[in-house]
Structure 1
């Protein structure tokens, strides 16, 4: 009887939906969106289900409704628990599929997603699901959990544009979309772009002149090699890695005292400059202490795992904070190295990705066997600069195996590192993530949905590193090449670099991502080679000029028909100012420094205890170190850097947000470093025998990295003339009285201050602090 009623109801429902079909066809015809000929579960349907359905019908068993999972094929094709004759999905028949019937229903009692969820599918998304079901409702494993596959280099129409393999993939998609790539950027723009991407510094006048005067075909390629060989390359790359490794110069929390972890930063710079292969670079950081007869360099590398926040406050529960440290290392591994939001499974099964809570704590257990405590000491002297386990770095070490460390003569160096317990600590699933709620005991392993843990690997961090660099691992190479692509092009091929899971963005160029990942692995995980591939591509060398058509059709430059244009990172804004003015102290490595900072900031955000309760500004050449070396106190990070979106290093970050606020303009107009740089550069130019116009042209080139157009020079000359006429002597002296760099005795104050104002204006151009 029920079957006959259901069958009759299905006929009525089908007639109803035939009318809806006609409406959908009209909707699609009038929409700018067009359904693909072949609907892919991975690229078209899964994102819709993940955003709207998986919270209640996904991996998390604790939140699952109606015992229905839509993320697994065999579960979605089963009959419904309470209505055995009804199926969520019937391949080839959308009107027999309850999923489709529910999403198009007008009845609020059955409509999905439920109205009170504040989720709603668009007509286009509904049509996509319908077509997918009609074509057979074929499921696919999530794209990022499938190992990269060898793909053929695409065929393109305009071979003459191509410089290397990357360009074939980019051009293929451009041709499909009806776009043409931009022409190559002019040489000045190319050199500035390349210099910031490879060294974080602006090109010098000598570099600009040499490049402009070199007509050879190898001129650009030669500069790529020179910059990759520069010591500044390691410093530039280290900025990105400091965010990932959550490096800071203080422990964090309210009693935010000093930590001496900077020798690990020196090692990172050294590793990048030596072009250490990525597999070795990561293995040493994860498990250098577990290698056979580890050297002090390998031990130092493991400081990566100890960069997290550490409390020094009394009255805390030791185990609670120890568990917090282990959790931080676990989450950092997931986000930074495999691009999975593992932290979402700390309290329950992951709602979107096939990672159970048990599997989270299996990963957790790799990091849960360290000889550490939740609290080791109270705020005090040098003995608190590092927490056990730690290593001391002696003068003998610096004279031999650790020669890359820039150690001040009188500095006592101790660095927190990793060190295993003599016997294994038992790890448990922590119910609801509570440190004291022990559930099932677990052993080290990894989610099988990503890659089953090889039983031949050690059940420790060294085995974890081997799992990470197993050739079958689908994530490791993809995640890293995506991070480097983001560093070079401003946005990753996957726009969510920390989330390659169900809720992450789909890759804009999946075939290119896989080709790069495989090529990277097959060529020894060579980082400099990877960077070189990117910056020598025609894609990279395009002009950043945007046409109205491209701005309208591809405003976010997803298809890379032009070079990206975006603001420099906070550290490189500082580096630009110091370098162009001649103030930069290019010393490599060493302790962090405390430059100018508004008074009272530290004092207003401290318990009043410890050596960091009061800000003690540095002097002399330490005022002019690169942004990489700015002292980062977690509770009060450097204000000028923070306003330009630098990380406070509380936790692992794989990308920075880019904001535009009036406070950034105030920094560029009033920051002592910027004003001092303007004063110093103006003074140097006034000592050269040249006209005012020549001085302005030279300053413009040094700061903006190109020759100014005559109309730009005319505006600046007019402004300069006005300053000379109206500025009083006393006002000039007040303007010049900024910074600690010595004043010149033999310069006219009004002339000096007037040129200083012009240079300050050039520094404040949008183009100055942008990569174009």
Structure 2
């Protein structure tokens, strides 16, 4: 009815109009757009992605419909329907007086006359979104000439000094040697130097070759395992690492930690950054299985949290894929590609089609655990085989100490792994094993062995023994009759009857043997316990061919279904010598079983499962219920034309994506990482918005320096450690933090680096430094995270752990990180909760920080331990104890007035109170 009314109105206007009048766009149409439309659909704002001040954009239309105008077709042109509808919620413009009848008549006639919009008459030009510094190739600037080359130590300083001189500023004096040592040690390792390291450095730096002393310190710190622990934290902040899934049911990810350990190891090994990228996107193809944990570090809804209806499932899948795309693009490229999920990016040259084409690269990735392939898997397999052979030999020797069958002594119950039946020695060429009942389904035997009095297995097919059986279930290479005496154990090398609960096997040797024992098992590897023979008879044929029963299940202890507890070895009937030999064998058996379990254990990591990729469609307004055309994997079209066919396999897609991102010719990848490294040394990057190098990000403070560093980075083989070395040995980094009011009035944020920008150390460094100075820090690396709370996941009820011991004294990076729950003490120090990517920790100052750090159980315990450590080193002399506390905590001797004040504190309140005060001092908490 609404549409009919609108077109009736148009028809009446057409009748009243003077036929033959020609509508001129500039004279007649544009003034209408300017008056009614440009405020919402012009240069400053484009509601619903519609822009009407530029021809090319206007004819594309907006979100939710196609072209706004169909030339020559009034009824199919949304523009006319929107300005004439009687639906107040849809009519345009939405507020104020609508278009007059004359204006509607003009627009209608313009559409009828094919909506002529001449070229070259637009008042605005469409901005070239690729005309942006970070989207252009990396330049190759030369270090600039400066008037004071005596200050510079490397090319970094030339760029910084040139900028300062242009702004009328000068650098600050250099920091003293100990200040630099404390700064660089905290910076590179997240721990303070020891008093012994300070002494050694001062002795070396006072020598003539003091530059070598500085270089030696940096080399030592970069080789320390503590370096990887410190710098991995920066990376984990960006990728949103946590040990829980997030959302309402914040359940644990028990196997997330291998990715954290991978990142630490990667930084310690200085894995080239381009390889670091490839490993995190396609580590399953390059021998770094745990690295792909990067793809799925973000929050995700678990199946039980998703509605069972198809729309809910589709929406959850879209959200999961979105997190992967966002993680990849903001981490490696510094782009907010996720903004194009519902519409073309408002600012950057990224279309909605680009977004879904990027999604197609990872549409086969599932948030899940995956079994890892150890790098030494072949060596493990060889070692496991040797252990199994030795273990089988031990079992056979132990079987010699089991009671004879049928002599009135109860024998151990039947088990799935291995059973031994001893009997009086008999000469024979044939043995028959008959099964009368099983615990489930058809009987299965992995190996049937017959031993002579010399301990040799004469049943082996390799010795010429032939096998016959009742019905046989033949599954190629798994349950064939030939496998029952091939010398191999395990379900995959077994015989299976084709009759439920029964069957028989006859072994016929190539010659007569004197035999005394039969050994058999369902599955020596212990993986399966069904199809186990629980009632059986063993018969031996004499030389005339008569069968005699030598053993059966009647004298065995009761078989208890589903009982996995091993039956203790029985020493009944053994002599003292036999008991000693049996005990030795049992000890060896237990040792071998532990070794075998460890070497055959298959570790898991929350690193993604990979399957056939989903078909990805462009979604209208990002709605999974409004799919449009299917898209194939393709990189951002404004940067490259790389694409893959729609049938490309899953791993091939991720390989192509990783290669494109890690290319040295990519304008963003190396720039973004160099900026992250610079930021972590100076508190702010050359580009302040470290994860947004797009048009809404901040411009670089030193663009030539950024590009020069980027060139050095790629040319050095993408070495992150080389970048550290260059930065921390520069005169720029070695400046003091000395205040300069005149310089601060020009550059309050120290963006031009006229001094070293001091800042508070992060939460992890505070906690780790307290433990280290207290002498309690556990430097054990890796493994499952220690608990910060009384539970490792869930809806609520996270009670903080207040007192730590054991693994709780490891570095804070090894804590079990619960998403959306901050550490009770150090969470107040701007420690991110893993909910969102943290490109840069914003430093806050709150009363809670002081209260936590002064009154918490953690602080009290470390203060007491610190005091105890010093009192152990220095027994009676309070002045020396005070001096030692300052040396350990602040890397300097106390001044005379500090000693005087500290004496009264120690005498009245104890040494622990002094330690507690120093933990709360700015000198302990800030980079010098």
The TM-score, its normalising length taken from structure 2, stands at 0.60
Query: Could you say which residue in structure 1 is the equivalent of 2:85?
Result: none
| C-alpha distance in 1 between matches for 2:217 and 2:721 | 14
| C-alpha distance in 2 between matches for 1:765 and 1:55 | 56
CA contact (8 A) 2:732 2:756 kept: yes
Query: Could you say which residue in structure 1 is the equivalent of 2:905?
Result: 719
Q: 1:420–1:409: structure 2 CA closer, same or farther, 3 Å change rule?
A: closer
Offset at residue 409 of structure 1 (A)? 7.2
| C-alpha distance in 2 between matches for 1:69 and 1:487 | 46
Query: Could you say which residue in structure 2 is the equivalent of 1:415?
Result: 605
| 2:692 is equivalent to residue 706 of structure 1 | no
Offset at residue 63 of structure 1 (A)? 3.0
5 Å matches for 1:750-769? 754-769=910-925
5 Å matches for 1:324-339? 324-339=319-334
| C-alpha distance in 1 between matches for 2:158 and 2:737 | 20
Query: Could you say which residue in structure 2 is the equivalent of 1:579?
Result: 772
Offset at residue 318 of structure 1 (A)? 2.9
| C-alpha distance in 2 between matches for 1:301 and 1:340 | 22
The TM-score, its normalising length taken from structure 1, stands at 0.72
Which of 679, 684, 690 is the matching residue for 1:497?
690
Residue by residue over 1:699-755, the C-alpha shift from the partner in whole angstroms, topping out at 9 and shown as x without a partner, is 12211223333233333233334x25xxxxxxxxxxxxxxxxxxxxxxxxxxxxx11
Show structure 1 runs of 5+ residues with no match. 7-51, 73-80, 83-108, 110-132, 374-386, 402-407, 725-753
CA contact (8 A) 1:262 1:591 kept: yes
5 Å matches for 1:107-122? none
| C-alpha distance in 2 between matches for 1:618 and 1:768 | 22
The structure whose residues are more often helix, as a share, is: 1
CA contact (8 A) 2:41 2:51 kept: no
SS at match of 1:439: strand
Show structure 2 runs of 5+ residues with no match. 1-22, 28-37, 59-67, 70-96, 98-122, 382-596
Q: Which has the larger radius of gyration?
A: 2
Q: 1:397–1:253: structure 2 CA closer, same or farther, 3 Å change rule?
A: farther
| 2:147 is equivalent to residue 157 of structure 1 | yes
Query: Could you say which residue in structure 1 is the equivalent of 2:561?
Result: none
Offset at residue 530 of structure 1 (A)? 0.9
| 2:232 is equivalent to residue 238 of structure 1 | yes
Query: Could you say which residue in structure 2 is the equivalent of 1:263?
Result: 258
Offset at residue 589 of structure 1 (A)? 1.4
SS at match of 1:703: helix
| C-alpha distance in 1 between matches for 2:378 and 2:264 | 15
| C-alpha distance in 1 between matches for 2:41 and 2:877 | 69
5 Å matches for 1:581-730? 581-595=774-788, 606-607=794-795, 620-687=805-872, 688-689=874-875, 691-721=877-907, 723-724=908-909
The structure whose residues are more often strand, as a share, is: 2
| 2:163 is equivalent to residue 173 of structure 1 | yes
CA contact (8 A) 2:256 2:607 kept: no
CA contact (8 A) 1:335 1:341 kept: yes
Query: Could you say which residue in structure 2 is the equivalent of 1:506?
Result: 699
| 2:347 is equivalent to residue 352 of structure 1 | yes
| C-alpha distance in 2 between matches for 1:400 and 1:667 | 49
Which of 427, 448, 453 is the matching residue for 2:642?
453
Q: 1:578–1:563: structure 2 CA closer, same or farther, 3 Å change rule?
A: same
Q: 1:173–1:138: structure 2 CA closer, same or farther, 3 Å change rule?
A: farther
SS at match of 1:440: strand
Query: Could you say which residue in structure 2 is the equivalent of 1:391?
Result: 371
| C-alpha distance in 2 between matches for 1:444 and 1:336 | 20
| C-alpha distance in 2 between matches for 1:589 and 1:694 | 37
SS at match of 1:533: helix
CA contact (8 A) 2:686 2:700 kept: yes
Residue by residue over 1:450-470, the C-alpha shift from the partner in whole angstroms, topping out at 9 and shown as x without a partner, is 333277999611111111122
CA contact (8 A) 1:59 1:69 kept: no
| 2:709 is equivalent to residue 516 of structure 1 | yes
Residue by residue over 1:532-565, the C-alpha shift from the partner in whole angstroms, topping out at 9 and shown as x without a partner, is 1111111001101112222222110010010110
| 2:763 is equivalent to residue 570 of structure 1 | yes
5 Å matches for 1:538-553? 538-553=731-746
Offset at residue 618 of structure 1 (A)? 8.6
Query: Could you say which residue in structure 2 is the equivalent of 1:428?
Result: 617
5 Å matches for 1:741-752? none
Greater shift, 707-716 or 761-770, is seen at: 707-716
CA contact (8 A) 1:58 1:70 kept: no
Q: 1:276–1:71: structure 2 CA closer, same or farther, 3 Å change rule?
A: farther
CA contact (8 A) 2:777 2:810 kept: yes
CA contact (8 A) 1:59 1:71 kept: no
SS at match of 1:699: helix
5 Å matches for 1:364-383? 364-370=359-365, 372=366
Greater shift, 256-265 or 268-277, is seen at: 256-265
Offset at residue 510 of structure 1 (A)? 0.2
| C-alpha distance in 2 between matches for 1:268 and 1:663 | 32
| 2:137 is equivalent to residue 147 of structure 1 | yes
CA contact (8 A) 1:59 1:354 kept: no
Residue by residue over 1:400-430, the C-alpha shift from the partner in whole angstroms, topping out at 9 and shown as x without a partner, is 79xxxxxx979984212244324x4211122
Query: Could you say which residue in structure 2 is the equivalent of 1:468?
Result: 661
CA contact (8 A) 1:354 1:449 kept: yes
CA contact (8 A) 1:571 1:628 kept: yes
CA contact (8 A) 2:240 2:298 kept: yes
Offset at residue 614 of structure 1 (A)? 7.3
Residue by residue over 1:245-281, the C-alpha shift from the partner in whole angstroms, topping out at 9 and shown as x without a partner, is 2211112222222211111211111111111000001
Offset at residue 569 of structure 1 (A)? 1.1
| C-alpha distance in 2 between matches for 1:594 and 1:230 | 26
Query: Could you say which residue in structure 1 is the equivalent of 2:512?
Result: none
